[in-house]
Amino acid sequence: MADIQVYKKSPAEMELGRRRGKQAMRAQVMMFSLMIFLTLLSFSMVVAFESGVVGFSKFFIIPIIMLFAAVQVGLQLYYFMHMSEKGHGIPQMFMFTGALLGFLIPLTFVTIVWW
């Protein structure tokens, strides 16, 4: 059978763990609030366009919404998928390499077809 080792934390280690947990939860809530704000901003821009507000054309709104979507995807990967924690270097490398290839390959084929 496997031996089980029990490690008793000192009060300083307990306090450090409590502070790190509190800080991580604060970051999660802040990022969630930022994403809700970006979503509300996107919806309000679309409503302004549909209402005919001057200055909100589809050539302005579509790139801004795509930018907000990219920011939200990055934040969700980094914070909600715990990519900001230590020990996630290899999964980050594979994810970023896949995203880069997923962008470059269609760009390459579109460039070949157009020229």
Domain shared by 34 and 49, yes or no: yes
Residue 84 scores a pLDDT above 80: no
Give me the mean pLDDT over the 17-38 stretch.
91
Tally the domains of the chain.
2
pLDDT given for residue 109 in this prediction: 93
Domain shared by 79 and 105, yes or no: no
Structural domain boundaries, residue 40: 11-84
Residue 95 scores a pLDDT above 80: yes
Residue 79 scores a pLDDT above 90: no
Domain shared by 23 and 50, yes or no: yes
Distance CA 1, CA 93 (A): 38
Residue 69 scores a pLDDT above 90: yes
Residues in Cβ contact with 19 at an 8 Å cutoff, skipping those fewer than 6 apart: none
Domain shared by 99 and 74, yes or no: no
> Would 6 be classed as within a structural domain?
no
pLDDT given for residue 1 in this prediction: 60
pLDDT given for residue 37 in this prediction: 95
